[in-house]
Structure 1
Amino acid sequence: MDSQILVGISACVLGEKVRFDSGHKASAFVNKELSPYLRFVAVCPEVGIGMSVPRPTIRLISDKQRIALVETKDASKDYTDAMQSYANQKVDGFLDQPLCGYIVCAKSPTCGMERVKVYGNNHAEKSGVGLYTQVLLERMPWLPVEEDGRLNDPVLKENFITRVFCLADFYQSMGDEPTRGKIIDFHSRYKLTLMAHHPDSYRELGRLVAHIADYDLDDFVARYRLGLMNAMAHRATRKNNTNVLMHLQGYFKRALGKKEKAELRKVIDDYRVGLLPLLAPLTLIKHYLHTYPDPYLADQRYFQPYPEELRLRYGL
């Protein structure tokens, strides 16, 4: 897969000194571990609409009509329309590129993804979404979006990176001209992955692909992409992963001897009850797959959803 996967990012998270106090919020994970695999498009919406560095702080306020973006100490200085216009302009540009994800700055009144403070009637509620990110989420609902702070959680981090690489694989698989054959091949490679993330969506997408001939191809690509990424947004649970591992076990029932079968059963069960990480049964199954090749299993992205060097499955 192309090592330069395009991902948007709040410029301060990349380390640019663009915050209101001339500081940054550089993420070590982003800058040290992700940067070899992703090509970042850095955006600071506040600088983008012409605000200075440093600058007065801004916040979201609520009146009965709308949520507005204003200066903290002078609410007459209103940046709402400018920010929404800028956000729509940036998204217009992203729609022309194979953007595969976005990392935003938590709690920011422009970039926060959730629980952003909204002030009104002398109190603040953590109920808002940053104005820039809200436009991004509304206009690109398939796009994997995550906050910098949440990437410290190993499960959330692994899920986000899985989604980014999945969407990149989808775009790369479609190439310049999607075809029904390319979609069917892609879906086949992601069957086990979808089973692990959301079994209901796995079944729904299977039915959708079975009727691909009934759709205009462009409409189908858009519908499939949204369904795929909504499914992948569900985190793969231990229960679902165990079901996939047991499904994989069935492929080797004729090839493995009694001792090997017992070993595989035990490793899967030890993962199921939390004694071993997911990596343990996967490593053993990959060993058996190397010894007893199966073309269908060899193509499954479930075994390597992203570069192994990222070591994201160690804690799962």
Structure 2
Amino acid sequence: MSGSGAPIKIGVSSCLLGEKVRYDGGHKHDPYLTGVLGRFFSFVPVCPEVECGMTTPREAMRLEGDPAQPRLMTHRTRIDKTEQMLAFCRAKVEQLAAEDLCGFIFKKGSPSSGLFRVKVYREGMPAASGSGLFAASVARRFPQLPMEEEGRLNDPVLRENFIERVFAFRRWKDFLAEGPDLGRLVQFHTCQKLLIMSHSTQLYRELGALVATGKEIAFPELLERYQELYMKALELHATAKKQTNVLMHIMGYFKKHLSVEEKQELLQLIKQYHDGLVPLVVPLTMLRHYVAKYRQEYLSQQVYLSPHPAELMLRNHV
């Protein structure tokens, strides 16, 4: 759910939800999407082939030619379906603009919906360097929208990064919907500081400088620039080294409160996390305990301590 109570919408390739729309009449149902993410997200299904007028089942297709501007060709009868698909893409992305999406999960390898390393055939070996025509259209139309492929969500690091960005984008959209001003932007940024720091100290500094000079910039431009840098920062992976830096930073707020033994215990947990022996949730649980115990107001506002529902267990991997 978003801050407004509305469901968080993400686009999804229809076949991943179990819809029988693939060229062979089958589906590619992903139980993680429907069984786990479905508890927190509302899905907006899209099947470019069916929605642009193709039948199910249908002849298999593939991308051919220049990976930067590939053609969509039927494999056996050699019919060029490029313009049919691109016309659909132009109309569909404008429809999706009204859906208030906070993310999109695409079908790996699809000539329409594959996001990364889609095969593009030309003379010799196919180059696994293209994007599906629809996925590329969505990426161009919504450059800050969190996007991922279902196969890559099996990687716990990629999964955490994607879902964290979805919730972050929803927070930003809620902020925009509530009538922002410079004071509220400062407040929003203050709550995101440690989360941003865990992804990029450089962009953390850039965003801080941007907000600090906000009065010198036209406010619509300021918001646009902040969104761009905010989502760019979160796209970078929060490595164990970066996370350890943030954990130590948080620990510094309790140097006058903790006993020598408590400090040693906390430092040991942070080191064990850094060395890959325990998941991030272990030192964070203790830090959250101290935040509540000592009523640390600044830290209690930090999104970093709980950027997504605990039920997703995204910080439980080593």
> What is the TM-score with the length of structure 1 in the denominator?
0.96
Question: Contact 1:3–1:38 at 8 Å: present in 2 too?
Answer: no
Question: Contact 2:106–2:114 at 8 Å: present in 1 too?
Answer: yes
Question: Contact 1:282–1:303 at 8 Å: present in 2 too?
Answer: yes
Displacement of 1:290 in angstroms is 1.2
Alignment of 1:37-76 (within 5 A): 37-62=40-65, 66-75=69-78
Q: Per-residue displacement from partner, 1:239-295 (whole Å, max 9, x unpaired)? A: 000000000010000111121111111111111111211111000001111110111
Q: Distance in 2 between matches of 1:93 and 1:179?
A: 29
Change (3 A) 1:217 1:91: farther
Q: Distance in 2 between matches of 1:27 and 1:64?
A: 28
Question: Contact 1:116–1:128 at 8 Å: present in 2 too?
Answer: yes
Query: Structure 2 regions of 5+ residues with no counterpart?
Result: none
Amino acid at match of 1:103: I
- Residue 110 (str. 1) matches residue 112 (str. 2): yes
In structure 2, the partner of 1:26 is: 29
Q: Distance in 2 between matches of 1:248 and 1:64?
A: 46
Question: Contact 2:67–2:130 at 8 Å: present in 1 too?
Answer: no
Amino acid at match of 2:12: I
In structure 1, the partner of 2:196 is: 194
Change (3 A) 1:70 1:42: same
Amino acid at match of 2:103: G
Amino acid at match of 1:56: E
Alignment of 1:52-201 (within 5 A): 52-62=55-65, 66-75=69-78, 77-201=79-203
In structure 2, the partner of 1:256 is: 258
Deviates more, 1:255-264 or 1:210-219: 210-219
Amino acid at match of 1:311: M
Displacement of 1:212 in angstroms is 1.6
Query: Structure 1 regions of 5+ residues with no counterpart?
Result: none
Amino acid at match of 1:51: M
In structure 1, the partner of 2:276 is: 274
Q: Distance in 2 between matches of 1:67 and 1:270?
A: 48
Amino acid at match of 1:278: L
Q: Work out the number of aligned pairs and report it.
A: 315
Amino acid at match of 1:42: P
1:265 to 267, 270, 286: 267
Change (3 A) 1:177 1:88: farther
Amino acid at match of 2:112: T
- Residue 226 (str. 1) matches residue 218 (str. 2): no
Amino acid at match of 2:40: Y
Amino acid at match of 2:278: L
Change (3 A) 1:64 1:16: closer
Computed over aligned residues only, the root mean square deviation of the Cα atoms, in angstroms, reads: 1.5
Amino acid at match of 1:263: E
Q: Per-residue displacement from partner, 1:88-129 (whole Å, max 9, x unpaired)? A: 222212223421000000000000011111011143111110
Deviates more, 1:60-69 or 1:204-213: 60-69
Name the SS of the counterpart of 1:220 in structure 2.
helix
Name the SS of the counterpart of 1:13 in structure 2.
helix
Runs of 4+ in 1 over 6 A off after TM superposition: none
Change (3 A) 1:176 1:301: closer
Question: Contact 1:194–1:201 at 8 Å: present in 2 too?
Answer: yes
Displacement of 1:227 in angstroms is 1.1
How many percent of aligned residue pairs carry the same amino acid? Answer: 42
- Residue 14 (str. 1) matches residue 17 (str. 2): yes
Displacement of 1:207 in angstroms is 1.1
> What is the TM-score with the length of structure 2 in the denominator?
0.95
Q: Per-residue displacement from partner, 1:174-201 (whole Å, max 9, x unpaired)? A: 2253322222211111110111111111
Q: Distance in 2 between matches of 1:239 and 1:268?
A: 11
Question: Contact 1:3–1:36 at 8 Å: present in 2 too?
Answer: no
Name the SS of the counterpart of 1:74 in structure 2.
coil
In structure 2, the partner of 1:35 is: 38
Deviates more, 1:58-67 or 1:225-234: 58-67
Q: Distance in 1 between matches of 2:224 and 2:244?
A: 31
